[in-house]
Amino acid sequence: MITHLLSMEDLDAEQIGHILDTAEGFRDIALRPVKKVPTLRGRTVCNLFYEDSTRTRTSFELAAKRLSADTLNFSAKGSSVSKGESLKDTAQTLEAMGVDAIVIRHEQSGAAQTLTRFVQARVLNAGDGWHQHPTQALLDLFTVREHVGRLAGLNVAVVGDVLHSRVARSVVQGFATMGANVTVCGPPTLVPASAPSWGCEVTYDLDGLLARTDVLYLLRVQRERMTEQFFPSSREYARIWGVGRDRLARLPDEAVVLHPGPMNRGVEVTAEVADAPNALITAQVTNGIAVRMSCLYLMLGGEQAAPAEPVTQATTAEEVAAR
């Protein structure tokens, strides 16, 4: 069982495989008329978001709800954080209310790790600064395994703004752990010198890489994190590093394209590629819920609980009490 989910570095291939296999069992719940199982009934999951998020926050919330956990959404805006409350005081306040798990997104690398020192609750890192975003990597691995059938031996290219990307660090480690050959590629100003130590190759030749790529993973240009000019203009970036119809055509026929979202259409990816049949971007979002259900289930002791079964409508107070 996993205590905290902080970084892909903490997971070996067996643990990743177990999370993905468990997620498979949860995927079909979304197809049922009642999209809920009672597995985490009585548990409380708090989303503690200090940074903006669309997909990750809603996905964690739906995952917890589909497991019948109570959910608490806490965003820094509109809370006592804006009055200067520290992470420690905020976390201890939440814990005093009895939360069992805290899903945290924070602009500082290491914030999730720090949180584990203040609380007994399980901590899930939903993105800390430039550092890690492990559930994103897990849902990407799940999506590729589902569509391609395997992970080991695949050639994965992670392309774009690698420097500012916690997703890049997480997916490179995740794919490498599962036996894929990973190459990162981007403008030299946006590929950190430490990249080879993540277990990948580095190249600045995107066009040379495409013909031997099975999984093309495009990264968002993270303008909000840029403190200086890393490339001349968006148009120049799109021309040299963006993927449009021409570059898509150079990929092998069976190749798939991923992007964690949100996308800058027209910069790192054209609308045509984003909407192409081999782009798995919507599948990534859908699978995010099952993968996060799997993580919450495995971390909150769900493995010892009864197997997933649908919740049916209770009609009487006695029936409600019996559950």
What residues between 103 and 122 interact with ligand NCD by CB under 6 A? Answer: none
Place of tokens 């609750």: 121
> Does residue 166 touch ligand NCD according to CB under 6 A?
yes
> Does residue 247 touch ligand NCD according to CB under 6 A?
no
Query: Exposed, middle or buried: residue 291 (CB in 10 Å: 0-12, 13-18, 19+)?
Result: buried
> Does residue 7 touch ligand NCD according to CB under 6 A?
no
88 catalytic per annotation: no
For residue 105, what is the enclosing H or E element? strand 101-106
**Catalytic member of 4, 106, 133, 259:** 133
Q: Which parts of the chain fold into alpha helices (H)? A: 13-27, 55-66, 87-96, 111-118, 134-148, 166-177, 206-210, 234-241, 245-249, 271-274, 281-299, 317-322
3-state SS of 151-181 is CCCCEEEEECCCCCCHHHHHHHHHHHHCCCE
What residues between 180 and 239 interact with ligand NCD by CB under 6 A? Answer: 220, 222
Closer Cβ to ligand NCD, 66 or 220, answer by number: 220
**Catalytic member of 55, 65, 147, 265:** 55
CA distance 260 to 135: 11
> Does residue 167 touch ligand NCD according to CB under 6 A?
yes
> Who contacts 116 (Cβ-Cβ below 8 Å, separation ≥6)?
4, 6, 123
> Does residue 133 touch ligand NCD according to CB under 6 A?
yes
Q: How far is the CB of 135 from ligand NCD (least distance, A)?
A: 8
Closer Cβ to ligand NCD, 208 or 262, answer by number: 262
Q: How far is the CB of 274 from ligand NCD (least distance, A)?
A: 14
105 catalytic per annotation: yes
What residues between 38 and 67 interact with ligand NCD by CB under 6 A? Answer: 55-56
**Catalytic member of 105, 131, 259, 292:** 105
Residues annotated as catalytic are 55-56, 83, 105, 133
Could you list the residues that contact ligand NCD (CB under 6 A)?
55-56, 127, 133, 136, 166-167, 220, 222, 260-261
